[in-house]
Amino acid sequence: MNIGYARVSTRDQNLELQLDALSKAGCETIYQEKVSGASASRPELERLLTQLRTGDTVYIYKLDRLGRSLRHLLKVVGDLQQMGVGLV
C-alpha cells in the first residue's frame, strides 16, 4: 500500500501542495499534521508507523517533513527498513 505523510510546522502554513503531490504519487492514505518540527509529539506520524505492514511504501514530500532532527530521521528510516517498508 502507498501511504503518504504530510506535515507543516505552523498552523498558518498550508498542506495543499504536499497533499496534491502525495495524491498524484498514488497514495491511498495520507496522514497529515500541523506541528512544529522541534515538537516531540507527532501523533499522526506515530499512528502511521503503527499501521505499516511489510511491503508498504511511505511517501513524503521532503525529508525534513519526516524527522524532527537528523538523529530522529535516521531512526525512523532504520525502523522502516527493519519493517520491510519502502520510503519515497
Cell numbers at residue 67, please?
524527522
Strand stretches in the chain, DSSP E = 2-8, 29-34, 57-60, 86-87
Whole-number Å distance between alpha carbons of 69 and 58: 18
Catalytic position from the list 9, 36, 39, 41: 9
Judge whether 23 counts as a catalytic residue. Answer: no
Residues designated catalytic: 9
